[in-house]
Amino acid sequence: MEKAIKNFLSQESAGGILLMVAVLLAMLMANSPLSGIYQGFLDTEMQVRVGSLDIDKTLIHWINDGLMAIFFMLIGLEVKRELLEGALSSRAQASLPTFAAIGGMVFPVGVYLLFNYSDPVTQVGWAIPAATDIAFALGIMALLGSRVPVALKVFLLALAIIDDLGVVVIIALFYSTDLSMVSLVVAAIAILGLIGLNRRGVTALGPYGVLGMILWIAVLKSGVHATLAGVIIAFCIPLRAKDGTSPSESLEHSLHPWSTFIILPIFAFANAGVNLGGMSLDALFSPVPVGIALGLLLGKPLGVLFFSYIAVKLKWAVLPEGMGWRHIAPVAVMCGIGFTMSMFISSLAFVGEGAAYGDFARLGILVGSLLSAVIGYFWLDKVLPKEAANSAK
């Protein structure tokens, strides 16, 4: 298991660097003479029509609704594996990261609403600072190399996975609109079909792919966000076959490089381009960007630390072996790196009447995530031994 975690972490660190490049490129294009080309590219209309079925969306919507469904499928596969066999498979292993993740979602919401409680238009962005970006956070931690004990890496990995699962639930409950009962019925039938395949022990991925595509289209048309179809598909794919092989892990390994090196950088490039040209200082320090930035920078670590401390004091959880609060604190700060999921929720929250707040939200995400990354990195660098710890070897 330790080898698998190390391989996962090394890939995430490379993906984190690629995400940073995509963000910088998007910001450069959005704030240069190429801004028109950049926006025009994202607004390109793309239509797929088969008989009466018509899906007509702009390129950025295909990215956020289509490509990100594959990313959410990968999240679902990782969550299922960790729940059944990995870092979340026992109460002792799961307790501390679970409490930490809950605190890390509750406190940022409180900070955001503290600045936006009086405006019903901006209130809808409450969930934006609740997310942790697993690729960026693990990528920053990986820069410190083998000095970081494996137990600390596993804690951050488990916390981020639970956090992602919480965000999936938030999207399903609070960011679904204009529900279509016909589409929901079709989606329910597709889900029953997927469950039936699982119960019958079907391990070939083809049938899951066919029903999964039907499910994605139905969910897309239903008003529930289409990315949730990816999570449902992932949970229906068997983790273990009778011969001991793992269809779920096989698909996870296949999807990982596509998600890490293609899907997430494309998403970052499409969503991180904030045009700063028309923003005044008043706008930069308005409630939306300030609420998000402080929610990530202060709310996240305070929530992670407070809930973790209470859980340990009440003996509901224990600190990882060899780790103290001086190690947990900088990791809690790194949890404020909320880029991918925060950007995604922002794209769902600020539409229609609130669309004008989209750039402000993305700016708050970038500032909060950047400060969390820098502070978390240097703080962890200071508390870790200068040589690789035995537990990290």
> CATH number for the domain including 161?
1.20.1530.10
Tokens of residue 317, six digits: 């959880």
Cβ pair 159, 104 in contact under 8 A = yes
Lowest mean pLDDT among 158-162, 178-182, 261-265, 364-368: 178-182
Considering its fold, how many domains does the chain have in total? Answer: 1
Task: Please indicate, yes or no, if residue 328 is contained in any of the structural domains.
Answer: yes
Q: Is 80 exceeded by the pLDDT of residue 86? A: no
Q: Is 60 exceeded by the pLDDT of residue 10? A: no
Domain region containing 118: 14-176+225-383
Instruction: Give the pLDDT confidence score for residue 393 in this predicted structure.
Output: 38
Most confident of 5-19, 272-286, 316-330: 316-330
- Report d(CA 175, CA 131) in Å as an integer: 15
Q: Is 80 exceeded by the pLDDT of residue 307? A: yes
Task: Please indicate, yes or no, if residue 218 is contained in any of the structural domains.
Answer: no
**What's the mean per-residue pLDDT of the chain?**
85
Instruction: Give the pLDDT confidence score for residue 390 in this predicted structure.
Output: 46
Q: Is 70 exceeded by the pLDDT of residue 361? A: yes
Task: Please indicate, yes or no, if residue 171 is contained in any of the structural domains.
Answer: yes
The pTM (predicted TM-score) of the whole model is 0.76
Q: Is 90 exceeded by the pLDDT of residue 385? A: no
Task: Please indicate, yes or no, if residue 331 is contained in any of the structural domains.
Answer: yes
Q: Is 70 exceeded by the pLDDT of residue 127? A: yes
Instruction: Give the pLDDT confidence score for residue 313 in this predicted structure.
Output: 93
Sign of CA pseudo-dihedral 369, 292, 384, 91: negative
Task: Please indicate, yes or no, if residue 7 is contained in any of the structural domains.
Answer: no
- Report d(CA 247, CA 245) in Å as an integer: 7
Task: Please indicate, yes or no, if residue 40 is contained in any of the structural domains.
Answer: yes
Instruction: Give the pLDDT confidence score for residue 13 in this predicted structure.
Output: 58
Cβ pair 13, 143 in contact under 8 A = yes
Task: Please indicate, yes or no, if residue 343 is contained in any of the structural domains.
Answer: yes
Element (H, E) at 55: strand 53-58
Cβ pair 98, 263 in contact under 8 A = no
Task: Please indicate, yes or no, if residue 259 is contained in any of the structural domains.
Answer: yes
Most confident of 149-153, 160-164, 179-183, 308-312: 308-312
Sign of CA pseudo-dihedral 173, 174, 176, 182: positive
DSSP 153-222: HHHHHHHHHHHHHHHHHHHHHHS--S--HHHHHHHHHHHHHHHHHHHTT---HHHHHHHHHHHHHHHHHH
- Beta-carbon contacts of 89 under 8 Å, excluding residues fewer than 6 positions away, are 82, 83
